[in-house]
Structure 1
């Protein structure tokens, strides 16, 4: 679906009109293309005294081909691709001034689609109340930067638990590569938790899923089809699943990327067993399970019949629980495996006329949060993505005024693309991000809803 307003803004006439009238100004986002540098410009790396991450980060970014600068090495007029700041050394609110002193002089020097990444310690793991207070304050800083800098610049806070753990260090590198690159174009204002866990460095960062068997449900169209293609591009052997009614579209996607197509209604009583039998017979395992299948049956609660309620809860939530339970029971998801579920911004903020949908998507978040500590003991990670307004067939049916509001009510002033959700899910599926677990990452351009 074409965003005609965004196209108009990119024209000469449009730019002048937007500037004069103060209208929303959707920037052209930098998205991933094979062969592009990780970040198109030097990265200013700063650290508070006593920070525990900057030294290791400097080495890994240099190895990734990033040009690093420190505050003394940035001359007036230098355009920066990104700020990366190690704030783990901030132990008191007065020390927040150090971050201001580093960022303030160069805040207007960030290139379009640049990145701001602040690294901190989870407040729950701080040794004193003052340290926890200061670390919690970083969330307000990064979310405000994401709304202030404009021009496609995004800002994130990354909480790092144990940098000396090999799995944590590997997952930190993978997370930085994702956040600095064009893969994270529509992700902003997020707090990402990296704990201790198993993670494996890829042989080739351009194919971080080489050798991985990945199941994608709802793969015939929209986000699911984009996801299947991104996962295959990243090296995965994709098992693409959808309902029999979508068989032709599913076959097209599978044939395009060399995937296996499975036609199955996930709400059927024998669906988990049939799926488990297929994965066991064809692959012997499934390294990554992506629960993308979902439906909407919208009505206000007072007008909603019970079938609409039951169908949405069953497809969007209960089927995920049944499949997870059986695959885990049969040990088809091995140590180092990943589960990624698709939630929604509606599950965070709610939405009028979608009580069934919002309930199911909030339940997906609950599923991730409750299973994460259990699966960590088995060396398996579980996370969710929560898309905001994404340009799909479904959003194309929304009335024009509501559609335009959905597109503009975020820091990037535009809707996301299916590939934006797919890139985020692929990152969470990488073996290198095994220590990223229990997260709900919003792919919403930093929506004003639920922020």
Structure 2
């Protein structure tokens, strides 16, 4: 559904009126297109403190294709070419070195192009050094606040480096690209890796050779996820309920994938998925995307047991059962990825959605608990995406006032698109993201609700 307010604020009368009335002024976001798959321009790289990653990080950033510089001085290009700023704050250990983050960003933040990126690299807060912990936790407050004030479609994120900086390359490329247009105010930890780091041979097709299964793939976000995975080189199996067999078959045919009509809540769903995705030489499945979900909204006082149980069974129970079955059967190859779908409702709650919020908060609990064991025992990572207000047929049916509030109550001042969730899922599905595990990444434009 078209966002008429966003379109209006892009006109001269719209800009004048919204400024006079103090209304939100959302900017059109620069998303990935086939014509413009990456940003083109300059990237500033600063260091706060005595970082051990200075040289290695400079080389990594240079591989993104951006022109990496250490200052604005002598810039020959125009003001629109500065597309990103990276501040390495991994060595920040107290208020004095924390001040260097301010000193780095204060002079340049106004020069950042529309839809530009600010990326701060930090370290996990120490349990043994409360000075370091205070400073590193301070980075989180800094990033979240800057994200709310920076405007013009620009995003600000914090990446905590808990392992080799080379393991963060896939994550840094994602956050410094148009693919992360609706991801802002996030804290993502990149940890250690248990085996040799596997980076893509072709960054345009980072999922080449991988097979992914997407549930709820007949339409909406699930269809967008399947499209992004195929674009990035994956083979796909698309699962949806038998009543949507015709729709999921059409999507599968268009994408060159296979359709699997199946009720994900069936007791034998996991076994049937394992059988469908196994070849003569063993399992073929590398990526499992749990996208299927339903809503049955009512205030708790008016919610009958059927509404409660149906949502919990589809959104949470089926995810638990099928994941357990597939892992136990070894149906997901080592080096594989499980991406679950949570929701901002599971973080902040929502009126009339006690059942939905409980199920999505449950997904977050599942992800954080299972992730370390799944990697140790099965060589599989587990992460979650948590969408905010996404423009779908479901949100188009929301009453106008509530829909407008949902769109504007984030730092980017607009709703996201299914492709925003899909791009984040594709990043987490990449083998090169194997050091990202147990993370819950909100795709919400930095919603003003929730933690």
TM range, smaller chain? over 0.9
Residues 345-356 of structure 1: pairs in structure 2 closer than 5 A: 345-356=344-355
**SS of match in other structure, 2:333:** coil
TM-score by length of 1: 0.96
Of 358-367 and 278-287, more deviation after overlay is shown by 278-287
Given the alignment of the two structures, is residue 145 of structure 1 paired with residue 143 of structure 2, yes or no? Answer: no
Once the 2 structures are TM-superposed, how far is the Cα of residue 207 of structure 1 from its aligned partner? 0.4
1:221-259 Cα offsets, whole Å, 9 max, x none, are 110011111110010000000001111211121111101
Contiguous gaps of at least 5 residues in structure 2: none
2: CA distance between counterparts of 1:46 and 1:202? 27
Displacement of 1:29 after TM fit?
0.3
Q: Deviations over 1:231-289 (max 9, x none)?
A: 10010000000001111211121111101000000111222211111112487321000
Per the alignment, residue 390 of structure 1 pairs with 390
Q: In structure 1, what is the equivalent of residue 319 of structure 2?
A: 320
- Aligned partner of 1:415 in structure 2 is 415
Check 1:233–1:134 CA distance in 2 against 1; reply closer, same or farther (3 A cut): same
Instruction: Specify every segment of 5 or more residues in structure 1 that has no aligned partner in the other structure, as ranges.
Output: none
Compute the displacement of 1:26 (Å).
1.3
Deviation at 1:160, TM superposition (A): 0.6
What's the offset of the Cα at 1:126? 5.9
RMSD: 1.6
Q: Please name the residue that 2:366 is paired with.
A: 367
In 2, the alpha carbon distance for the partners of 1:154 and 1:224 equals: 25
For normalisation by structure 2, the TM-score amounts to 0.96
Instruction: Label 1:37 to 1:429 Cα distance change in 2 as closer, same or farther (>3 A).
Output: closer
Q: For the residues of structure 1 that align with 2:37 and 2:100, how far apart are their CA atoms?
A: 30
Q: Which residue in the other structure is 2:263 paired with?
A: 265
Deviation at 1:53, TM superposition (A): 2.3
How far the C-alpha of 1:71 sits from its partner, in A, is 2.8
Greater alpha carbon shift after TM alignment, 31-40 vs 205-214: 31-40
Q: How does 1:65-214 map to 2 (within 5 A)?
A: 65-71=65-71, 73=73, 78-79=79-80, 80-123=82-125, 125=126, 127-163=128-164, 169-170=166-167, 172-197=168-193, 198=195, 199-214=197-212
CA contact under 8 A between 1:195 and 1:435: conserved in structure 2?
yes
Paired with 1:149 and 1:355, the residues of 2 have a C-alpha distance of 34
- The residue correspondences of 1:23-102 to structure 2 (distance < 5 A) are 23-34=23-34, 36=36, 38-71=38-71, 73=73, 78-79=79-80, 80-102=82-104
CA separation in 2, counterparts of 1:230 and 1:144?
31
| Alpha-carbon shift at residue 373 of structure 1 (Å) | 1.2
- Deviation per CA, 1:131-159, whole angstroms, max 9, x where unpaired? 01100000011111111110001000000
Q: Deviations over 1:30-73 (max 9, x none)?
A: 10123536333211100023112232121022122210111364
